[in-house]
Chain A
Amino acid sequence: ILNVEQSPQSLHVQEGDSTNFTCSFPSSNFYALHWYRWETAKSPEALFVMTLNGDEKKKGRISATLNTKEGYSYLYIKGSQPEDSATYLCAFSIHYGQNFVFGPGTRLSVLP
């Protein structure tokens, strides 16, 4: 069974702080690494899909990096805002569009 880990489990930051969290995954048979943003009482929404070692993706104040050789990805949020409060999930797949394995998520709370 593939195991995806995320740390920290939860995080509280002040508005304006920058923060980052980690997703660790098996480095063998890698196909893609996904990041999702999941607000309470809503459905997970895709942020990034990364497939190549060294990939960096950016969307506004949020960016992500990928290291497939050592099996980790970082998600960065610059200048956190209260609306960034959510659970951030990463998911790993070894086949095209199949068998996503999700990590347990990092719950971010941004305090005004």
Chain B
Amino acid sequence: NAGVTQTPKFQVLKTGQSMTLQCAQDMNHEYMSWYRQDPGMGLRLIHYSVGAGITDQGEVPNGYNVSRSTTEDFPLRLLSAAPSQTSVYFCASSDAGTGSTDTQYFGPGTRLTVL
């Protein structure tokens, strides 16, 4: 199993550009989520999904859209990039609903810089 994969690893955007961060998992996890990591602030939840076709907002959803058309994929879209969105983005999935561990497995991260 590849686990949780993210692409790209690095990206530089100009203010106003749009892009999609890809996330995929091959563990058949129902729960997937996107976090951003900023210095001194830990991981903050952007959006999450409890299954295909179901998404919801986390703590910092503004400026981001998500969709979940399949169990495997959970892309994060930046509609109009702003310098405040410069961050490291982590995707995670969890086996919630199948056992008691509900541990989240993280992807390698995408480092995004918005100029």
Contact = CB atoms under 8 A, between A and B. Distances in A.
A111 interface: no
B42 A98 contact: no
Interface string A24-60: 0000000010100000001111100101000000000
Contacts, number: 61
Interface of B: 4, 30-31, 33, 35, 40-45, 48, 50, 58-59, 90, 94-97, 100-109
A44 B35 CA distance: 12
Given A97-B95, A97-B102, A99-B48, A104 B107 contact: no
Contact of A49 (B30, B97, B103, B106): B103
A85 to B, nearest CB: 18
Contacts of B41: 104
